Structure 1
Amino acid sequence: MDVLSLIDTWAWIGWLVLILVFLVVEMLTGELTFLMLAGGSAVGLGAGVLGAPLWLQVVSAALAAVALLVFLRPPLLRRLHRGADARPSNVEALLGLEGLVLSRVSPAVTGQVKLANGDVWTARSDGDTRLDPATRIEVVRIDGATAVVRSKPGGTPMRIGPS
């Protein structure tokens, strides 16, 4: 018995192992990619059970996996994430947030600002302006642990967090 016929005879075990490995990895990732690959492997297993040669099993598994990834995964992901919270979080939630200068802020010297969410941040100004205490500001970007802010003109006085 030569090696190729031996592999062809026992290929179904390889397909089962691939399916199990892909399913375990899918449980860890949850992005449906490995689920689609497991589906392709199931098609390869089915082709082998029906008596297809090994090369046809591999081709059918690859074509099925690609088809599942292209046509089935995107609508499943949209359905899975349709109720997701679209509000920004982490650093993105700070961008555009208003606040007040607590200690002088300039491009060269970092000061402190208190943001509308109650957080106190180390800050520096955006541009060539110096911002004195009690100046209203807006967060432009976050550089590491420093908020880059600019003056926010006029408006009504704002209450920032619990004092």
Structure 2
Amino acid sequence: MDIDAWVWWLIGAVGLGIPLVLTAMPEFGMFAVGAVAAAVVAALGGGIVAQVLVFVIVSVALTAVVRVIAGRQRADRAPQHATGIDALKGRQAIVLERVTGGGGRIKLAGEIWSARSFDHGFSYEPGEQVDVVDIDGATAVVM
């Protein structure tokens, strides 16, 4: 019994689909689709060179397209807004107790924070508005 080439390509596609399911590596899925495309070429009477070329072209093209789409999805999931401590940097605060290079208190985002001036030579008096340039532990660094 002689098995046609298209049947071998389908067996190969199934063989490539098994590791796809077991390992969740999408590359195996791209190769399986390439093998199905090669099976179609074989069923239409294409030679072995055409079959292998279609397999390679379809597999590589699908891998490239999926990689681009996955890259866009990954970039879209990147945080659009700063959260936590990063969200406080750049905000304005009101000085509650004199702030020097050694310390002081500010009201930042509705909460009272310990603070120190960015430049140790500067001080800020109560009621002044300051900008938060960094958060150092539980201390806001202001200027």
Distance 1:137 1:11 in 2: 65
- Give the structure 2 partner of residue 138 of structure 1: 131
> 1:139: Cα distance to partner?
1.0
Task: Check the 8 A contact 1:16/1:45 in 2, yes or no.
Answer: no
Distance 2:138 2:116 in 1: 11
The yes-or-no answer on 1:73 pairing with 2:70 is: yes
Alignment RMSD (CA, Å) = 3.9
List 4+ stretches of structure 1 deviating above 6 A: 55-59
Distance 1:59 1:16 in 2: 22
What SS does the corresponding residue of 1:130 show, helix, strand or coil?
A: coil
Task: Check the 8 A contact 1:113/1:122 in 2, yes or no.
Answer: yes
Between Structure 1 and Structure 2, how many residues are aligned? Answer: 120
Task: Check the 8 A contact 1:112/1:123 in 2, yes or no.
Answer: yes
- Aligned amino acid, residue 130 of structure 1: S
> 1:10: Cα distance to partner?
7.3
Render the CA deviation track for 1:70-104: whole Å, top value 9, x for unaligned. Answer: 3x3355x39x959x995443233212322222233
> 1:16: Cα distance to partner?
2.2
- Aligned amino acid, residue 113 of structure 1: I
What SS does the corresponding residue of 1:64 show, helix, strand or coil?
A: helix
- Give the structure 1 partner of residue 28 of structure 2: 41
Distance 1:104 1:114 in 2: 12
- Which residues of 2 match residues 1-163 of structure 1 at below 5 A? 12-22=14-24, 38=26, 40-48=27-35, 50=39, 61=59, 64-70=62-68, 72-74=69-71, 77=73, 81=76, 86-107=80-101, 109-115=102-108, 117-127=109-119, 128-150=121-143
Gaps of 5+ in 1: 1-8, 23-36, 151-163
> 1:147: Cα distance to partner?
0.9
Distance 2:92 2:65 in 1: 48
Distance 1:58 1:122 in 2: 63
Render the CA deviation track for 1:98-140: whole Å, top value 9, x for unaligned. Answer: 2222233222x1222111x211112110112022333322212
Q: Which has the higher strand share?
A: 2
Q: Which of these two proteins has the greater Rg computed from alpha carbons?
A: 2
TM-score, L = length of structure 2:
0.58
